[in-house]
Structures are given as structure tokens and as C-alpha cells.
Amino acid sequence: MKKRALALISAAVTLITAFSGCNFEIITEETTLPDVITEGHLDNETTYYSLETEAREETTAAAETTSEEITTQDLNTEAEEETTEEQGEIIGYTEKGFVITKKDGITYVDGVLVANKTYSLPEDYNPGSLLPECEKAFFEMKSAAAKEGLNLWNASGFRSYELQSRLYKRYSERDGKEAADRYSARPGHSEHQTGLAIDLNTITSAFANTKEGKWVAENCHKYGFILRYPKEKEAQTGYMYEAWHIRYVGIETAGKIYNSGLCLEEYYGITSCYEDTAENEEPVASVTEAQQMTSAAADIPQEQPTETAAAVQVG
């Protein structure tokens, strides 16, 4: 009995000791944990939080950059969609990256209506007269020139597809098609059909040396016009030099083209070549000024050129 009592007491002591040890371990962990975090792993913990913060900042910065890029892309997309809506379907880009659109058979490059040997107009495109913005700009330019004692007049403005067809037929029969192509546009390729082109004053090469001609060359861009067929640019424009032929493109665009020293085709990176003519073929037909100006008249009624009074009505 005594031995049994001693065994029970020994077992009880063992259990109490074990239980006390377990509590001690738990208490030790609870009391030392703050010391471990503060002393043993402070650097690692700080580094962890630092890296986490940096990662969060980088993610935020990347998100902001992406947001800005998306916003820019959205703006560009919206601009292209607006262009598409206003000037039709995007059909390509020029070699200089300008967008080319087409609507109702009319071609636009960077929003500017283009009519040359490469890009034609529909036969039924007929605004009937100069477009309002062109006419307004011309009268502003005419008024500015008048203040300097100069006289500008519209010798030939809008011209229909039908009239251009008759003019070109006459010139090609008289001088030959190859020669006529250097100074007269085929029907559907005339700038005059756009309602944005004007032939000034006498429509002769002599105009370039007049006070008016010199003033126009230096100042027409201020009113939104460009000299459409500059000197020594026949290979690019497809037409002989015409000091009297101006084309309305808007003040901003006209200024850019003027300051670039380029013709419209060079500026936009487009061609002006009929499909049945080799793009790099040099003109071989000789056209004298007498031939070119046989039908010229000093004062053609504005916007109503007659067949007998039509001169080198290019564009």
C-alpha cells in the first residue's frame, strides 16, 4: 500500500512537472517574440516592408504610365475616328506617315482634299462654285494686296468635270496628249473642280515678274493659299510652273508647306502620275508658251471661264 501511494505521488509530480514545463515554454514564446522581432529580425522585417513598399510604388507608377499611354492612344484613336467620320474610310498612309482617307470617291490626305494625276474626283462632284472658305480667303487676300496698291482678280475659279473634259480634249487635239498633260488636267483630275483653286490675273508666265505675282508668291500662304505648281517641281506635281495658280489648303497647312520649301506632293509624300504613265518617266514633249497661251484671255469672267477664253487651266 505504501509502495502504491509513493508511485501515485511520483506520477502526479511527473505530470505536474510536465504541465509546468509546457506552460513555461508557451510563456517563453509569448514573452520573447517581441524581442525576436525587435532585435533578431528587425532588418529583415524592415527590408521586407521596404521592398513591399517599393513594389507597390512601382506598380502604381507603371499603372499611371499605362493609363497615360492608354489615354494618348485613346485620343489618337478618337482623332482617327473623327477623321474617318468626316473624311471617310482610312485607305492607307503616305510615305511620310500622313493618313489617306476616302469618302464619296474623294481622297483626303491629312484632312486636305487632294486632286492630282494620282488621285481623281468623281464625275458628279460639283460644288458649282468656289467653296465659301476659299472665296472668303481670296477676298481677304485681294483686300490686303489692294492696300499696297496691287490688283488681284480671279481669272478662273471653279470648273466642272464637263468643262474640263472639253478643254482637255481641245488641248490634246491641238498639241498632242503628251504635251497637253504637262499643262492641262484630264477630266476628274483638275483642282478647279474642287472649288479650292484659282487662276489669277493674266494667266501667263509674265505674271511671275509682276508686282502682284511677287507679292502672291511671298504672301498667299498667310491667307491659306499655296502656289500649287512651283518652279522646278514638275517632276513632283506633274505640271509645268504656274505662278498664277493658287490652291486653298487653310492657313496652318499653307504656312507649313510654304516654310518647308516643298510642293504639296513632296510635303505629304504622295505621287502625281496617271496610271498609264510611268511614274519616273521624264516629260519629253515640248510646249512653247505660244501654244500654252493660245487661248489665254487677260480678263476671264470670274468663275465662268468660256471655252474660247480658257488658258492653261491646270489643276
Active site residues: 242
Contact status, residue 23 vs residue 31, Cβ threshold 8 Å: no
* Nearest CA-CA partner of 200 in 215, 222, 189, 188: 215
How far is Cα 142 from Cα 152, in angstroms, rounded to an integer?
6
DSSP string, 240-307: --EEEEEEE--HHHHHHHHHHT--HHHHHT-----TTS-TTPPP-----HHHHTTT--SSPPTT---S
Contact status, residue 188 vs residue 161, Cβ threshold 8 Å: yes
Max Cα-Cα span within the chain? 151
CB-side neighbour CA atoms (13 Å) of 66: 6
How far is Cα 258 from Cα 218, in angstroms, rounded to an integer?
9
At position 206, the amino acid (one-letter code) is A
- H/E element, 178: helix 177-180
Q: DSSP character for 46?
A: H
Cell numbers describing residue 198? 484659282
Orientation of helix 132-146 relative to helix 211-219, angle to 10°:
130
